[in-house]
Copies of this chain bind each other. A is one copy, B any other.
């Protein structure tokens, strides 16, 4: 494999995380698995759109799905994704460039 391919694969994973709705989905799944319907209620994202985002996360192996009767439960496949999530939070806390104190405080409160 060429070095450039490595960067492509690498950035593909980041691309999958590079969407606010998918961030929200992952943050909701960090503690426990959830059904699509639970996620709809929790996030306010439409069912169809949620399903699309879950398909993207699923395709990259970031979440796993498990059908139980009429429901499908989603969970995070690899806990390192959550570590990466938290690492980004830390970078933000440490004052990534010109963000205001207010936003930084809010980030700190949230995480």
Contact = CB atoms under 8 A, between A and B. Distances in A.
Interface stretch (A32-40, A67-75, A83-91): A83-91
Contacts of A59: 97
Contacts of A13: 88, 91-92, 96
Interface centre among A61, A85, A96 (most CB of B within 10 A): A96
A43 to B, nearest CB: 9
B1 A20 contact: no
Contacts of A80: 87, 90-91, 94
A11 B18 contact: yes
A55 interface: no
Given A14-B14, A84-B87, A9 B103 contact: yes
Interface in A37-62: 59-62
Contacts of A60: 96-97
Nearest to A81: B91
